[in-house]
Amino acid sequence: MDSVRTLQSYFNRLLPFTTPGTPIYQDIIHTLALCALLYYAPEFFENRRRRQAQNENELHIDADRPNHEPTNEVPPVLPELDAEENDPNLPVGDGEAQHAAPFPPAAAAEDEADDDADEPGPANPQRRTAQARNVGAKKAKSIARRDQRRAYHEFQRSQGEAQRARDAADAEEREAELLEEKRRRAVAEAVLEEKARKEREERREKENKARQEEVRTRDLAIGMVRKAMNDSGAADLGEVASKMGKDRDWVERLVRADGMVGNGVKKSQDGTASNITMITAGGWVVKVDEAAMREVWSAVMKEKTMKVTYADMATKLESVVRGRITT
């Protein structure tokens, strides 16, 4: 019993899934999986070794076979191979005729070239015979497919180069168009800038003319007021404004800005007399001097009234000023 238990413990160590706690169906499944792995592993490695040897043979054949010139024609689509065609152990049946390659086998072409060539001689003592390069139908199909793929890739490469050339030409054309567009924009901007410059010059010239006209109008209005003040000691601002095409307020602001009024009592040049200039509510600029005030006091004294108001003084002064204007 001890030997059986020892053997069972060894099996449990080698096969961890065969423990007493696992179900019997799980142990059976694990055992079948292990047996299948042990059964198919040698065949898998043998097939892998055979494929590697086949690839090496194909590489040697490609080195001996001449290269084909690429064409610009679109080759037909590569046919898909079934699983039976990829297995080198299966015999070649009659059904391979329907998968014939679109190009003739390279081996057959080389055989025909060898038949037409001269016999081996001193020039080529190591010339290979047709039997040495003869391959099977499956190998010929593989070579034809390889040639077809090479032609297809060559066609794709040529098409890519042509497309890149077209793209480069299009890029140059677009660049030329962009340069032309920039030139047109620069010309248009120059025209607009010149137009704006002329408009600025015209506007500046108009402003200068308007300013000069305004200065001339002011000088003329001030001159008219001064002339009237020198002649009669009073000037009608409304009359001056109508002659200038302005309103009375404009002339009044102009007179005040010139300093003709609002500066208090002024002395004469010899210092013997003084006067004051004011603007009345009726829009008159009047100059009142000592002589006018003597006439006012003389008129007041003639009335011999005991009380003299400012209104009486203003009335007398207005009559004196009007008398000077009329005379």
Euclidean distance between CA atoms 184 and 248, whole angstroms: 57
C-alpha closest to that of 221 among 241, 207, 203, 201: 241
Highest mean pLDDT (candidates 130-144, 178-192, 249-263): 178-192
**pTM beyond 0.95, yes or no:** no
Residue 52 banded pLDDT, cuts 50, 70, 90: confident
Higher confidence at residue 36 or residue 201?
201
Lowest mean pLDDT among 31-35, 63-67, 223-227, 291-295: 63-67
Residue 118 banded pLDDT, cuts 50, 70, 90: very low
Instruction: Report the amino acid identity of residue 172.
Output: E
- Whether the pLDDT of residue 78 is over 60: the answer is no
CA dist 115 to 94, 131, 175, Å?
28, 11, 60
Determine phi and psi for 312, rounding to 5 degrees: -65, -40
Residue 60 banded pLDDT, cuts 50, 70, 90: low
Lowest mean pLDDT among 46-60, 82-96, 130-144: 82-96
Higher confidence at residue 281 or residue 20?
281
- Whether the pLDDT of residue 70 is over 60: the answer is no
- Whether the pLDDT of residue 259 is over 50: the answer is yes
Helix (H, G, I), strand (E, B) or coil at 120: coil
For 127-172, how does the pLDDT look when each residue is reduced to its tens digit (9 = 90+)? Answer: 444 444 556 788 888 899 999 999 999 999 999 999 999 999 999 9
Paired residues of 266 in beta bridges: 275
Please give the mean pLDDT across all residues of the chain.
74
Residues in the chain: 327
